[in-house]
Amino acid sequence: MTAGLRPFRTTGASGLHLVGDEIGPHDGPVVLLLHGGGQNRHAWKDTGRRLAAHGYRVIGVDARGHGDSDWCPHGHYDMAHFGDDVLALLTHLDTVPAVVGASMGGLATIDAQGRTPDRQLFRAVVLVDVTPEMEPDGVRRIMAFMQAHPDGFATLDEAADAIAGYNPDRPRSGTTAGLEKVLRRRPDGRWGWHWDPQFLHGKVDVGDDDAMRERMAERGRAWLDAARRIDVPTLLVRGLLSDLVSDRTVASFRAAVPHADFVEVARAGHMVAGDRNDAFADAVVAFLRDADR
C-alpha cells in the first residue's frame, strides 16, 4: 500500500497505540488486514492496492510490538493479547469489516471471535495459511529463523541472504530497498528486525519436541473451539508449498467450520501474499465480492 495511502491511528488494549495505513474510497466496504508474526503492515502493500482498486477501503495495522506500533513494556504478546487488540480496534470502526488475517493475524481473528459468542465481529473472514492446528515442523522452522539472528545484520544484503535461505523458492528481488520496511537501524549501526525481541519470549520451545507438540496440541484444541464460532462467509487460503498448514490441518479446520471455502495457491509457501500476490489477491477479491452480495 503506497500511493494514495492515508495514516490510520488507533488504540489497542491496555492503551497501546497502533499505527496503520488505509487506502481506497472512504465510503467503501472496509477490509482489515492483519499481518503475521514478525511482519508489519507493509507485507500487504500489493494486496492493499488491488483491493482498493476494486472499491474497498483497506486498513492495514501494525500489531503490538511490530512495525511502528507501540511495544508492550510488559512483554504481553500471547495470542489473547493480539485478540484483545482486535477487539479494541473494532470499537473504533463505524462499520463491520471483513478481515484478512495471515498466520498470527488469522489466529488473533479466531481468538477474538471465540471470546465473543453473542455476535459476529466480521462480515467475512479470510485466513491466510493458518489453521488452529499447525504442523510442528513448520512452526519449528519459523521459530528457528526468527531466533537465529539476535545480533542483527551488518548490511541489508546480509539480511537478504538470510531471508533467501529461509524461503529459497521465492525469486530474489534485485534490490534490498524493501527490507528497510521490515528492519530498523539499531543504535550500534546494525540492522535488526522491526519487532520487539520480547515477542519471542514464552513462545513454544523448539528445543523440546515433546513439550512443543503437547503445547501446540493444547492450543490447537482451544483455537479449534474458537473457530467453531465463526458463522460468516469464510475462506481458508493455503500456500501449496506451506510446511505449516497441511491436508490434515485443513481437514480438521473444515470439519469445525464446514461452510468455509478453501483455495490453494500454487508455487506459494507460508508467505502466500508475498510469494504469489496476484493469484492470492484474485482469490480474495472473488471471495469478498461473493460474500458482499
Q: What is the pLDDT of residue 170?
A: 81
**pLDDT at position 206:** 67
Residues with Cβ within 8 Å of 134's Cβ and at least 6 positions away in sequence, in order, are: 216, 220, 244, 245, 249
How far is CA 226 from each of CA 2, 88, 229, rounded to the nearest angstrom? 35, 18, 6
Sign of the four-CA dihedral 265, 268, 233, 46: negative
The pLDDT score that the predictor gives to residue 167 is 86
Predicted confidence band of residue 1 (pLDDT cuts 50, 70, 90): low
**How far from 254 is each of 133, 228, 259, 286, CA to CA, in Å?**
12, 10, 8, 20
169-173, 175-179, 180-184, range with the lowest pLDDT: 169-173
pLDDT at 3 over 70: no
Cell numbers given for 248: 490434515
Q: pTM of the entire structure? A: 0.95
- Mean pLDDT over 97-102 rounds to 98
In angstroms, the CA 105 to CA 32 distance is 10
Nearest to 60 by CA among 114, 102, 123, 91: 102
CA neighbor of 199 nearest in space, from 72, 41, 61, 14: 72
The mean per-residue pLDDT over the stretch 243-263 comes to 98
Cα(57)–Cα(277) distance, integer angstroms: 19
Half-sphere exposure (Cβ direction) of 75: Cα atoms closer than 13 Å: 7
User: Of the given ranges (144-158, 199-213, 240-254), which has the lowest mean pLDDT?
Assistant: 199-213
- Mean pLDDT lowest for which of 172-176, 239-243, 245-249, 288-292? 172-176
Mean pLDDT of 107-114: 98
What is the distance between the alpha carbons of residues 122 and 112, in angstroms, rounded to a whole number?
A: 10
What would the mean pLDDT of 28-36 be, rounded to a whole number?
98
Average pLDDT over residues 88-112: 98
Task: Tell me if 120 sits within 8 A of 225, measured CB to CB.
Answer: no
| Structure confidence at residue 142 (pLDDT) | 93
- Nine-digit cell string for 8: 490510520
As a whole number of angstroms, the distance between CA 138 and CA 34 comes to 20
Average pLDDT, the chain: 94
How confident is residue 282, by pLDDT bands cut at 50, 70 and 90? very high
- Per-residue pLDDT, averaged over 63-71, amounts to 98
Contact, 68 vs 18, CB < 8 A? no
Of the candidate ranges 72-76, 90-94, 212-216, 250-254, the one whose mean pLDDT is the lowest: 212-216
Specify the pLDDT at position 82.
Answer: 98
| Cα–Cα distance, 123 to 293 (Å, whole number) | 11
Fold classified for 6-135+219-291: Rossmann fold (3.40.50)
